[in-house]
Structure 1
Amino acid sequence: MDSDERIQAASKFLLQSPPGEINDVLNDVRNIISDDESLQTGILPALREYNLAQFITADVPGHQHQCIVSEAARVQAQGEEEDEERRDRFWDPRSRTSFRFDHLALEASEPEPIEPETEAEPFRLALENASLTYLAAHFHDGVTSVFPTQGNAERFVVQVVANKYNPSNFWSGRWRSEYIVNLAERTLEGKILVNVHYYEQGNVQLSTTHTVSLELPQTISAESAPASASKILALIETEESKYQTSLNAAYQEMSEKTFKGLRRALPMTRAKLDWEKVLGYKLGQELSASKGGFAAA
């Protein structure tokens, strides 16, 4: 396998990294490539794709909060062709700050002020405030970002991500949700993605996607931004609560039925078999049979 093929293989491994474990995967593939310079250059597209899809969070330079790094957060090029450096500039509407994001070090730098679109900002801000309230009530250490859509003052993207890493107990998990709020078409379209990895004496992953498609009530409008934003987040809360309940029910059913079916049945004695003594069990059985034969004679 040549260097390019190894880079391609490493990129595929990275794209399949469980939540919070990409550095572990990266360290493993470094041993395969054995060339850090070509590795960093070759896997950058895969790292960029992974980080944007997974809603990786970044500390906003000069501020005390985090924002989501995603495709919706990318700073759009204005007229000229986008170069590599500008391609990795993102923005946080909450602080009106743009920054350059290092996909390998996962760090934000080179902050610049950026002004949002005047027409879209009032409703975007209302959605952001409602999202922060929802986040504080339902997510531990979660992050939310709300973005306007360039050229469309009535279309917004609401994103939420929450991570829980517990390597000492061999599990990690990530919740992602994204919603497109379209006031003109009166629709709420979205998806919820859950990834959980459990790897104590094994390797089990759960990956689910749940889609949401709702019609917005007639009472929602840009003119009543705070009240309308709260109603939209109430719809999101209802959908996410229902999905969480369905996941809990599925886990309960698997625990009571599926997992029990996978377990090895106990022997007739209802005691666990000590496999280190299995030869002794067999020998004892033969001796008992022999004694029975002698008695019959």
Structure 2
Amino acid sequence: MDDADRIQAASKFLLQSPPGEINDVLNDVRNIISDDDSLQAGVLPALREYNLAQFITADVPGHQHQSIVSDAARVPSGSSDEDDEQSQDRYWDPRSRTSFRFDHLTLETSDPEHVEPDSESEPFRVALENAALAYLASHYHDGVVSVFSTPGSASRFTIQIVANKYNPNNFWSGRWRSEYVVDTGAKQVTGRILLNVHYYEQGNVQLSSTHSLALALPPAIAPGGGAAAATKVLALVEAEEGRYQASLNDTYAEMGEKTFKGLRRALPMTRSKLDWDKVLGYKLGAELTNSKAGFSAA
């Protein structure tokens, strides 16, 4: 296997990294490619793809909040050179009207610049952002939300939410991502909810779930509707996420009662339940029996 094949294999491993564990995977694949410089250069496209898809969060330079780094946050470069990495790695935070350069390897931000938003779409985008921040504070213990307008459109907006929970001491990690495209012209909200959970204590179990949705907007909702219209949009999001959470709870309950029980024998081969309070007695009895057999043989 040559270096190109090793880099391709390493990139595939990185793209399958569980939430919060990509650095561990990156350290592991260093054993595949002994040259760190070649590894970093070779897997940078995979790191970029992973970070954008996973809604990686970044500290906004000069501000006390984080923003989501995603395709929706990418700043158009205006360059015809698609291989220009610097033009690919500039993103913006609409909340602070700041664009910044993002390093997909170190996850650090730099080179902040002020960005003047579109004057026509900005009022309703801000209204959606305020409603989304209120929703986030009510329903997420630790999450980040970003609301983006669509370049060239005054009626299309993207709401992205990400919440991470890493608990390596107990061998599990999880990530919730949700994305909603609000189109006030078409009077609809389309989106998806993505859930990833990894449990790896003496094993390797992953849950990956995707839920797609399409909701109709009330006719009264329009970019000029202001805070009231934005609140109604987030009410739709709240109801949909609530239904999805309830369905997950029902699924887990059914798996515990049916699916997992079907994977193992309900009773031991004796067809009788084991009394765990008497386990020590069972062991002692077996030892006495073996001792008696030994005396008889003697």
Distance in structure 1 (CA, Å) of the matches to 2:226 and 2:80: 35
Equivalent-residue separation in structure 2 for 1:261 and 1:209 (angstroms): 25
Q: State the TM-score, normalized to the length of structure 1.
A: 0.91
Identity percentage over the alignment?
68
- Alignment root-mean-square deviation, CA: 2.2
TM-score under structure 2 normalisation? 0.90
Secondary structure of the residue aligned to 2:75 is coil
Counterpart in the other structure of 1:195: 196
Q: Name the counterpart of 2:166.
A: 165
The amino acid of 2:192's aligned partner reads K
Deviation track 1:70-100 (CA, whole Å, cap 9, x = no partner) reads 0000001236546321210000000000000
The answer for the alignment partner of 1:295 in structure 2 is none
1:133 and 1:253 map into 2 onto residues whose CA distance is 33
The Cα shift of 1:140 comes to 1.3
Does 2:142 align with 1:141? yes
Is residue 108 of structure 1 aligned with residue 109 of structure 2? yes
> Where does 1:77-88 land on structure 2 (aligned, <5 Å)?
77-78=77-78, 81=81, 83-88=84-89
State how far apart, in whole Å, the 1-side matches of 2:243 and 2:62 are: 38
Letter in 2 for 1:193: L
Return the match for 2:273 from 267, 270, 273: 270
Given residue 139 of structure 1, which amino acid in structure 2 is its aligned partner? Answer: Y
What is the distance in 2 between the residues matched to 1:78 and 1:28? 37
1:32 partner amino acid: I
- Paired AA for residue 115 in structure 2: I
Instruction: Give the distance between the partners of 1:98 and 1:85, measured in 2 at CA.
Output: 13
Task: Indicate the residue corresponding to 1:68 in structure 2.
Answer: 68
Structure 1 79/17 Cα, relative in aligned 2: closer, same or farther at 3 Å?
closer
2:169 and 2:80 mapped to 1: Cα distance?
49
Structure 2 gaps of 5+ residues are none
SS of the residue corresponding to residue 153 of structure 1 reads coil
Where do residues 222-241 of structure 1 align in structure 2 (5 Å cutoff)?
Answer: 222-241=223-242
| AA matched with 2:10 | A
- After TM superposition, the structure 1 = structure 2 runs for residues 1-297 of structure 1, keeping only pairs within 5 Å, are 1-78=1-78, 81=81, 83-264=84-265, 265-268=267-270, 269-271=272-274
Residue 164 of structure 1 and its aligned partner are, at CA, apart by 0.3
Deviations 1:231-257 (A, max 9, x none): 000000000000000001100111111
> How far apart are the structure 1 equivalents of 2:107 and 2:171?
23
Q: Deviations over 1:34-87 (max 9, x none)?
A: 110000000000000000000000000000000000000000123654632121
Q: Distance in 2 between matches of 1:81 and 1:33?
A: 29
Partner of 1:293: none
Matched residue SS, 1:225: helix
The one-letter amino acid paired with 1:46 is: A
Q: Distance in 1 between matches of 2:223 and 2:21?
A: 41
| Further displaced range: 193-202 or 75-84 | 75-84
Q: Give the Cα separation in 1 of the matches to 2:238 and 2:59.
A: 26
Contact 2:121 2:223 in 1 (8 A): no
Q: CA deviation at 1:118?
A: 0.7
TM-aligned CA deviation for residue 144 of structure 1: 0.3
CA distance in 1, matches of 2:102, 2:166: 22
Q: Following the alignment from structure 1 to structure 2, what is the Cα–Cα distance between the partners of residues 44 and 78?
A: 22
Q: Which moved more, 1:216-225 or 1:164-173?
A: 216-225
Runs (4+) of structure 1 moved beyond 6 Å?
none
1:294 counterpart residue number:
none
User: Following the alignment from structure 2 to structure 1, what is the Cα–Cα distance between the partners of residues 24 and 36?
Assistant: 15
Counterpart CA distance in 1 for 2:31 and 2:78 is 41
C-alpha displacement of 1:32: 1.4
Q: Which amino acid in 1 is paired with 2:126?
A: L
The answer (yes or no) to whether the contact 2:127–2:226 under 8 Å persists in 1 is: yes
Please state how far the C-alpha of 1:31 moved relative to its aligned partner: 1.3
Q: Aligned pairs, how many?
A: 284
Counterparts of 1:117 and 1:245 in 2: how far apart (Å)?
Answer: 38
Secondary structure of 2:106's aligned partner: coil
Distance in 2 (alpha carbons) for counterparts of 1:255 and 1:109:
47
| Letter aligned with residue 186 of structure 1 | K
